[in-house]
A and B are shown apart, each in its own frame.
Chain A
Amino acid sequence: SLNCLDWSLLTPATKEMLALAEQVKGRFQGDPSFEYSLAEINAEAAARLVESGKEPVMKEEARLIATIELIDREVGIVPRGAFVKTPLGSVHENRHFEGLSLEEAKKLSSYFHFTDPVNLKNKTLMEKADLDPSTDFLDSLEHDIPRGKGSWSIQLEKAGAVVLLRSLLWLGLTFYHVPMTKQFGYVYFGTGEKNLDLPFML
């Protein structure tokens, strides 16, 4: 939506859209029908599209969809324990989730990416033994590249009443959680561009 009054539904992202969107640089224009000329960005993709009969352009709408999907996938996070996995494999919201305590909230390891886990299988057997399969079935934030400082900034606001995690990879993604309560969530306010300079900036 452009004015918070008229909303249009976005289609789910396809793999080609994601691949192309990563190559497009620069700000969004604000017009969903704006077309990016693909010839500048990726000559191969342009050639492929021309062969299949379509024009070698990428619409801003597609770029928007892909960007949203990328953000959700890469930096969409939830606190540990908020979601549980049943033995049947389906994931539900944990209605008994009382929130993280203050100490837990300050640690990166108590937050998980809300996508299919990639790193879980690589953990050592010792670590796996400590995990609780009902709550620890997602990737933790500790292992986000770059290691050491990580790509997150944790801050306590309002004297410990709210814990804020800001992503350094997608500048503008903010995750909030009120410790000892069920409230958490994340929002994105920003230019929609990935921060590829992250390794230089730490």
Chain B
Amino acid sequence: HGPYQPHEPGYGLDQPGYSPYEDVIPDTHARMLAIKNAKAYLLKTSTKSGLNLYDHLANILTKILDEQPTNTVDIIENISKDVKWAQFRKKMDTLRDEPRIPPTFEAADRCKALFIREAGEEEREEVEEEMGEPALPNVMEVAFYFEQAGIGLSKDESYYIFLALKNLIRAQPVQTCRFWGKILGLEMNYIIAEVQLREGEEEEEAGEEGEGTTAEGEKETDEAEEDEQKEKEAEPPKSTYKPPPAIPKEANGTGTNKFVYFVCNEPGKPWVKLPPVTPAQIVCARKIKKFFTGCLDAPVVSFPPFPGNEANYLRAQIARISAGTHVSPTGFYQFADEEEEEVEGADTYEENPDFEPPPVAEMVESLATWAHHVKSILKQGRCVWINPTQKSEENEEDEEEEEEDEGEEPQEERGPPLLTLISEDEGMKDIPAWTAQASTNLIPEYSVAILQSNRWPGAYAFASGRKFENIYFGWGHKYSPESHTPELPPPAQPEYPSGTEITETVDPTVEEEMAFKIAQEEDLAEAEEEEDEEVEDD
């Protein structure tokens, strides 16, 4: 801000006689002195911070003129503070902070792994073409259709998921794979892929389970030895409580365990396989309603106590959602053999090559154009009913004292057969189970039929011609118009059967006891008197 040039607005103002404040201090010499004093005062360095007001004001004005914010006078104090703060940074140049790696960089690093193509991939691509249908689903295409309905994740995330699925297929021997959906959690979310493994893989799991049972067998023999030792000592009466027989889970590849599910928290993180689901877990999951935290090992604290941790609860909810909301246009799938339609164990279906897709308008109007293609889960927790009392025949010989089977023969449960139309789904009160609408009324030729489930909010399905897909985005809970009421704890068990041998009565009060004692003494006295009399008589 040195001497002003002729084209600048301040030119000539510092000449004596031309400044705008001429009338303030008439005497030139005094005015110059006043100006010098003022400037010297402004240049006075502060004792605390080493700044001086003159420079500070100059910096503020520079900043304001550079940035030109609106309503400057309102934020002038903050600007001043900022300028002062900026001063401090320069002074600490000798000490440099280690550059902090922002989390964005770390995440980008992780995602970078998704984008790398391995060298051997080109060979594999040729092999895959021979094998027929590609295992990798076209996630972007599905995302496009769902976007027509306003459902889905952002394009970035969909693409990351796409790449992550590709990695999954490369890592595991996968036959078919599908993006199942995303479940939200408190701290982290879950991205879920539905996979069908090739047959060799399943045998390995059976091997693992076999090892598990042998380890348990060893534990049982140890416990048996301890029990024998205890029997020599006095034992409290054995409880007659027999836990209800555990219902065996369905074999991998059938029923609720038809598909294997892999989850990850974010695309880029490694995929974790979820364990197969047991009927006990499904039955318990129906009774509780808990948020997912995002950590698979987290315990699920609830009543009735959930057998397993969050990974099991997640798997159970996935099974329930799949069974309840996976639909396809009617006729797309048909049974392999017509005879199997009547057999309840009909599990297999195949694509119908003669399927002609009904027009979108019809798919929206009538729900009979959609059908479930996943078996529904019975109350027992399985898709195929099994009689649990059959297994107890082996144990009957040991338990001779046992009374007859306390429970009645559980009745065989029948669920709706596979491929039922969804128009037969019951609604809750007045709310229908499904809501169908077309994606747009403005362009009916290219609109897509969208189906929303009201029983599981967050489950959607779309159909357009031969293409269809199901997906889930939500918290993972079923909808109920009433509030969730947790199960009441069972009534306290009676300690002993109350009968003729043992009954519970009130303890006698002190007065009763005293009266009883007096009566007893009187009897004794009478008896003694009688004896004395007898003795005397003799």
Contacts and interface: CB of A to CB of B under 8 A. Distances in A.
A158 B188 CA distance: 13
Interface string A80-97: 000000000000000110
B486 A159 contact: no
A159 B185 contact: no
Interface in A148-176: 149, 153, 155-156, 158-161, 166, 168, 171
Which of B78, B291, B479, B482 has the most chain A CB atoms closer than 10 A to its own CB?
B291
Interface residues of A, number: 23
A191 B486 CA distance: 23
Contacts of B483: 196-197
Given A156-B103, A159-B108, A196-B483, A168 B291 contact: yes
B104 A171 contact: no
A149 B454 CA distance: 29
Contact of B74 (A95, A102, A156, A171): A95
Contacts, number: 63
Q: Chain A interface secondary structure, helix, strand, loop or mixed?
A: loop
Contact of B107 (A26, A102, A159, A168): A159
A202 interface: yes
Given A197-B483, A200-B486, A102 B103 contact: yes
B102 A160 contact: yes
A162 to B, nearest CB: 10
A155 B188 contact: yes
B393 interface: no
Contact of A27 (B69, B103, B188, B454): B454
Interface string A182-202: 000000000100001100111
Interface string B189-201: 1000000000000
A198 to B, nearest CB: 9
A157 B454 CA distance: 28
Interface string B466-491: 00000000010101011110100000
B429 A95 contact: no
B75 A95 contact: yes
15 contacts: A95-B69, A96-B78, A102-B103, A149-B186, A153-B187, A155-B187, A156-B103, A160-B104, A161-B104, A166-B184, A191-B457, A196-B483, A197-B484, A200-B289, A201-B477
Interface of A: 25-27, 95-96, 102, 149, 153, 155-156, 158-161, 166, 168, 171, 191, 196-197, 200-202
Interface of B: 69-71, 74-75, 78, 102-104, 106-108, 111, 156, 184-189, 288-291, 429-431, 454, 457, 475, 477, 479, 481-484, 486
